[in-house]
Amino acid sequence: MPKPLERVLWRYDPILLNSRYDLAYHKEAFAHLAERLAGSTEKCIISFLDCYPKINKRLAASQIRPPSAAEQRELAGQFAVTAQKYGLKLATCAESIELADLGISHASCVDAALLARLGSGRLTATKDKNQRGECGCVESIDIGAYDTCLHGCSYCYANHSMPGIVKKHALFNVHAPLLCSSLQAEDKLTERKVYSLLAGQQELF
Protein backbone atom coordinates (compact mmCIF):
# COMPACT_ATOMS: atom_id res chain seq x y z
CA MET A 1 0.00 0.00 0.00
CA PRO A 2 1.33 3.50 -0.83
CA LYS A 3 2.10 5.82 2.04
CA PRO A 4 -0.28 8.83 2.27
CA LEU A 5 2.63 11.31 2.27
CA GLU A 6 3.74 10.06 -1.15
CA ARG A 7 0.71 11.72 -2.69
CA VAL A 8 2.01 15.25 -2.05
CA LEU A 9 5.24 16.54 -3.60
CA TRP A 10 6.58 19.93 -2.57
CA ARG A 11 8.44 21.99 -5.18
CA TYR A 12 10.87 24.78 -4.31
CA ASP A 13 11.62 26.40 -7.64
CA PRO A 14 12.80 28.18 -9.63
CA ILE A 15 15.76 29.12 -7.46
CA LEU A 16 16.99 32.49 -8.72
CA LEU A 17 19.21 35.23 -7.39
CA ASN A 18 19.21 39.03 -7.30
CA SER A 19 19.76 41.69 -4.64
CA ARG A 20 16.56 40.70 -2.82
CA TYR A 21 16.54 36.94 -3.33
CA ASP A 22 20.08 36.10 -2.28
CA LEU A 23 21.57 32.91 -0.81
CA ALA A 24 20.60 33.89 2.73
CA TYR A 25 17.00 34.48 1.64
CA HIS A 26 16.68 31.02 0.10
CA LYS A 27 18.25 29.26 3.06
CA GLU A 28 15.83 30.98 5.43
CA ALA A 29 12.78 30.56 3.17
CA PHE A 30 13.47 26.88 2.59
CA ALA A 31 13.88 26.24 6.32
CA HIS A 32 10.64 28.10 7.08
CA LEU A 33 8.66 26.11 4.52
CA ALA A 34 10.27 22.80 5.46
CA GLU A 35 9.26 23.28 9.08
CA ARG A 36 5.66 24.05 8.11
CA LEU A 37 5.34 21.23 5.57
CA ALA A 38 7.01 18.51 7.61
CA GLY A 39 4.47 15.79 8.24
CA SER A 40 2.40 16.72 5.19
CA THR A 41 4.85 15.45 2.57
CA GLU A 42 8.01 13.38 2.48
CA LYS A 43 9.72 14.81 -0.60
CA CYS A 44 10.80 18.19 -1.96
CA ILE A 45 11.87 18.74 -5.57
CA ILE A 46 14.14 21.69 -6.32
CA SER A 47 15.31 23.27 -9.55
CA PHE A 48 17.39 26.26 -10.54
CA LEU A 49 16.34 29.04 -12.90
CA ASP A 50 16.48 28.29 -16.63
CA CYS A 51 17.11 31.37 -18.78
CA TYR A 52 14.91 30.91 -21.82
CA PRO A 53 15.62 33.45 -24.63
CA LYS A 54 12.10 34.88 -24.50
CA ILE A 55 12.42 35.85 -20.82
CA ASN A 56 15.98 37.22 -20.84
CA LYS A 57 14.88 40.85 -21.15
CA ARG A 58 12.55 40.48 -18.18
CA LEU A 59 15.26 38.82 -16.14
CA ALA A 60 17.73 41.59 -16.95
CA ALA A 61 15.22 44.27 -15.96
CA SER A 62 14.90 42.68 -12.51
CA GLN A 63 18.63 41.83 -12.34
CA ILE A 64 17.69 38.16 -11.94
CA ARG A 65 20.25 35.45 -12.65
CA PRO A 66 20.59 31.71 -12.05
CA PRO A 67 22.94 30.53 -9.27
CA SER A 68 26.43 29.52 -10.34
CA ALA A 69 27.51 25.90 -9.90
CA ALA A 70 29.24 26.84 -6.62
CA GLU A 71 26.13 28.66 -5.39
CA GLN A 72 23.95 25.71 -6.37
CA ARG A 73 26.10 23.38 -4.28
CA GLU A 74 26.10 25.79 -1.34
CA LEU A 75 22.32 26.07 -1.37
CA ALA A 76 21.81 22.37 -1.97
CA GLY A 77 24.13 21.53 0.93
CA GLN A 78 22.16 23.73 3.33
CA PHE A 79 18.85 22.47 1.98
CA ALA A 80 20.01 18.89 2.55
CA VAL A 81 20.83 19.65 6.20
CA THR A 82 17.41 21.29 6.65
CA ALA A 83 15.59 18.47 4.85
CA GLN A 84 17.22 15.85 7.05
CA LYS A 85 16.19 17.80 10.14
CA TYR A 86 12.53 17.62 9.09
CA GLY A 87 12.55 14.11 7.63
CA LEU A 88 12.30 15.18 4.00
CA LYS A 89 13.88 13.67 0.89
CA LEU A 90 15.40 16.02 -1.69
CA ALA A 91 15.63 15.64 -5.47
CA THR A 92 16.36 17.92 -8.42
CA CYS A 93 14.16 18.51 -11.46
CA ALA A 94 15.77 18.50 -14.92
CA GLU A 95 19.22 19.41 -13.59
CA SER A 96 22.56 18.11 -14.86
CA ILE A 97 24.43 18.94 -11.65
CA GLU A 98 25.28 15.88 -9.56
CA LEU A 99 24.42 16.25 -5.87
CA ALA A 100 24.34 12.58 -4.85
CA ASP A 101 27.14 13.22 -2.33
CA LEU A 102 24.70 15.52 -0.54
CA GLY A 103 21.97 12.89 -0.55
CA ILE A 104 20.06 14.61 -3.37
CA SER A 105 18.86 12.48 -6.28
CA HIS A 106 17.44 13.30 -9.72
CA ALA A 107 13.64 13.46 -9.75
CA SER A 108 10.99 12.30 -12.15
CA CYS A 109 8.15 14.71 -11.45
CA VAL A 110 5.83 12.56 -13.58
CA ASP A 111 7.15 9.39 -11.97
CA ALA A 112 5.93 6.09 -13.43
CA ALA A 113 6.98 4.10 -10.35
CA LEU A 114 5.19 6.47 -7.97
CA LEU A 115 2.07 6.63 -10.12
CA ALA A 116 2.02 2.83 -10.31
CA ARG A 117 2.18 2.56 -6.52
CA LEU A 118 -0.54 5.15 -6.05
CA GLY A 119 -2.75 3.63 -8.73
CA SER A 120 -2.02 -0.01 -7.93
CA GLY A 121 -1.04 -0.90 -11.48
CA ARG A 122 2.12 -1.10 -13.59
CA LEU A 123 2.53 1.57 -16.26
CA THR A 124 3.95 1.01 -19.73
CA ALA A 125 4.99 4.66 -20.09
CA THR A 126 8.33 5.66 -21.60
CA LYS A 127 10.37 8.86 -21.25
CA ASP A 128 8.59 11.97 -22.48
CA LYS A 129 10.26 12.87 -25.78
CA ASN A 130 8.96 16.44 -25.66
CA GLN A 131 10.99 17.37 -22.57
CA ARG A 132 14.62 18.40 -22.06
CA GLY A 133 17.31 15.74 -21.99
CA GLU A 134 17.83 16.10 -18.24
CA CYS A 135 14.12 15.60 -17.56
CA GLY A 136 13.27 12.18 -16.14
CA CYS A 137 9.51 12.41 -16.58
CA VAL A 138 7.52 9.79 -18.46
CA GLU A 139 5.10 10.72 -21.21
CA SER A 140 2.13 12.82 -20.18
CA ILE A 141 -0.26 15.42 -21.57
CA ASP A 142 -0.06 19.05 -20.45
CA ILE A 143 -3.51 20.63 -20.23
CA GLY A 144 -2.24 24.11 -19.39
CA ALA A 145 -2.56 27.16 -21.65
CA TYR A 146 0.08 29.79 -22.36
CA ASP A 147 -0.53 33.50 -21.75
CA THR A 148 -3.33 33.00 -19.22
CA CYS A 149 -1.74 33.94 -15.88
CA LEU A 150 -1.99 37.52 -14.62
CA HIS A 151 0.70 37.27 -11.93
CA GLY A 152 3.40 38.52 -14.30
CA CYS A 153 6.38 36.66 -12.83
CA SER A 154 9.59 37.78 -14.56
CA TYR A 155 10.96 34.24 -14.77
CA CYS A 156 7.85 32.58 -16.26
CA TYR A 157 8.38 30.93 -19.65
CA ALA A 158 4.63 30.34 -20.13
CA ASN A 159 3.83 34.02 -20.70
CA HIS A 160 5.08 36.13 -23.62
CA SER A 161 3.78 39.60 -22.80
CA MET A 162 1.38 41.22 -20.40
CA PRO A 163 -0.71 42.90 -23.17
CA GLY A 164 -1.26 39.48 -24.75
CA ILE A 165 -2.23 37.99 -21.39
CA VAL A 166 -4.71 40.79 -20.69
CA LYS A 167 -6.25 40.39 -24.16
CA LYS A 168 -6.69 36.64 -23.72
CA HIS A 169 -7.99 37.08 -20.17
CA ALA A 170 -10.68 39.45 -21.44
CA LEU A 171 -11.99 36.65 -23.67
CA PHE A 172 -12.31 34.18 -20.81
CA ASN A 173 -15.66 32.41 -20.65
CA VAL A 174 -16.31 30.16 -17.67
CA HIS A 175 -18.91 28.22 -19.66
CA ALA A 176 -16.66 27.54 -22.66
CA PRO A 177 -15.29 24.03 -23.25
CA LEU A 178 -11.75 25.47 -23.43
CA LEU A 179 -9.42 26.40 -20.58
CA CYS A 180 -9.43 29.99 -21.79
CA SER A 181 -11.80 31.92 -24.08
CA SER A 182 -14.29 30.37 -26.51
CA LEU A 183 -14.03 28.72 -29.91
CA GLN A 184 -13.68 31.20 -32.74
CA ALA A 185 -14.53 30.72 -36.42
CA GLU A 186 -10.84 30.66 -37.35
CA ASP A 187 -9.90 28.08 -34.70
CA LYS A 188 -8.85 24.60 -35.77
CA LEU A 189 -9.76 21.55 -33.69
CA THR A 190 -7.45 18.54 -33.77
CA GLU A 191 -8.54 15.27 -32.22
CA ARG A 192 -5.89 13.63 -30.08
CA LYS A 193 -6.04 9.90 -29.48
CA VAL A 194 -5.45 9.05 -25.83
CA TYR A 195 -4.59 5.59 -24.54
CA SER A 196 -4.35 4.15 -21.06
CA LEU A 197 -0.77 3.55 -19.91
CA LEU A 198 -1.82 0.88 -17.44
CA ALA A 199 -0.31 -2.45 -18.43
CA GLY A 200 -2.93 -4.59 -20.13
CA GLN A 201 -5.38 -1.72 -20.49
CA GLN A 202 -4.60 0.01 -23.78
CA GLU A 203 -8.15 1.03 -24.60
CA LEU A 204 -8.78 4.33 -26.38
CA PHE A 205 -10.44 7.12 -24.42
| Chain segment 103-148, per-residue pLDDT in tens | 999 998 889 889 888 887 788 888 888 888 788 889 888 888 889 8
Q: Is residue 74 predicted with pLDDT exceeding 80?
A: yes
Q: Is the dihedral of CA 83, 87, 93, 97 positive or negative?
A: positive
| Chain segment 138-181, per-residue pLDDT in tens | 988 888 888 989 999 999 989 888 898 998 888 888 888 888 88
CA distances from 7 to 2, 98, 146, 168 (A): 8, 26, 27, 33
Of residues 26 and 110, which shows the higher confidence score? 26
pTM equals 0.86
Q: How far apart are the first and last CA of the chain?
A: 27
The Cα 154–Cα 28 span in angstroms is: 22
